[in-house]
Structure 1
């Protein structure tokens, strides 16, 4: 860490839970943020500002006028441009020391697998169950910690699935794929602008804690926000031993280890 970095990140370094070693862990870290919208905006901005060394940001969409009410990484002069291009400009202004790797595509299949495999932490900032489950499967396969957030109307939720731990559940344990779960979108239901900021910022905080290895993350807990009453609830989560995603993967991993 050079003198400029020591000064830039001095307020982190003053915290005994972080110190020089923790800040160096951030500088050496690689975070994958899937989605550059309402959740991805504050999440990516705080990760860059905090000094995460490499930030991979994936989004296939372009900036629309309706995004500007809540997607703070984008501005009016960026309407019509790819979100990752807009994000790159914003994040570079915020912290030119962070290496930005924009992916202007819907991250899926082998490309998703490859990026998850390279990441130290993955942030799911998407808005649909199909993508969330695909990200979860990749994180389970590669045993990568997943920070998941969601927001709609006045409600928000966030959790961490630390898939490096054998007793940690996965997103599928909480929301099994194929079950009759109503999928709602901001375009239809609306969203209170600060809610995505609150949830996305918490996602950034949890990802930073994962990279540093400090404090207690939301692994094993689901944090729920009612923005109308501004009340929080914390719900304990457990791993489903019969989960079709993490149960099967871990049993296979255990068998493979035993045969070595």
Structure 2
């Protein structure tokens, strides 16, 4: 029986999508990208939030170097120019209809980091380490990292990681905003599921605006950003929005999440 390269499981309104090449440290090649595309499309149809994770000791060690070597030595047949498959699939996560949360552990390297930064919230455990070794491999980032990772960490951090091959541990990754949550070893997926349940309790319309309007505002000029915000806030709201506002005014709204350290 052929092993699934990407696993899919639905728990209520949360989809779990897992990279499943543990013997290859979940290295990403075209078959993985194709399987990931199918899983993403299914999650977008069936779920309100999705969690991305990796099976085995690592999230993903990045590009499958056997495939990279085949391309570098022209062993891959030429094809018509079209959008890079990684760009296409990772953008389906980053700017699709539902939020994605990445649960990270072990290696989050190269293309694995590019995939992780397509998610909207990232959680890692203490085993996670982050790197961009392309400079030492004689190649360049190709999964959208020059745009997506650079916008998260800035030029100087990304340049340092690529030029020197420096690896960041969990605390360093939190400091440069690669991750927002650091948890004990083995707890990343549990924390991601906890966050996914909280996110899923929002209205789908609000979640869609957060993950689709905010990044476009960030890409726009000041005036265009304000105009995009005005258009979004002027759009008709679903009936649930009015009910939630009414519940808050009447004291029936659920409490906000407690601050860290509070019960």
Q: TM-score, normalised by structure 2?
A: 0.30
Higher strand share: 1
Instruction: Give the number of the structure with larger relative contact order, counting CA–CA contacts within 8 Å between residues 6 or more apart.
Output: 1
Q: Which has the larger radius of gyration?
A: 2
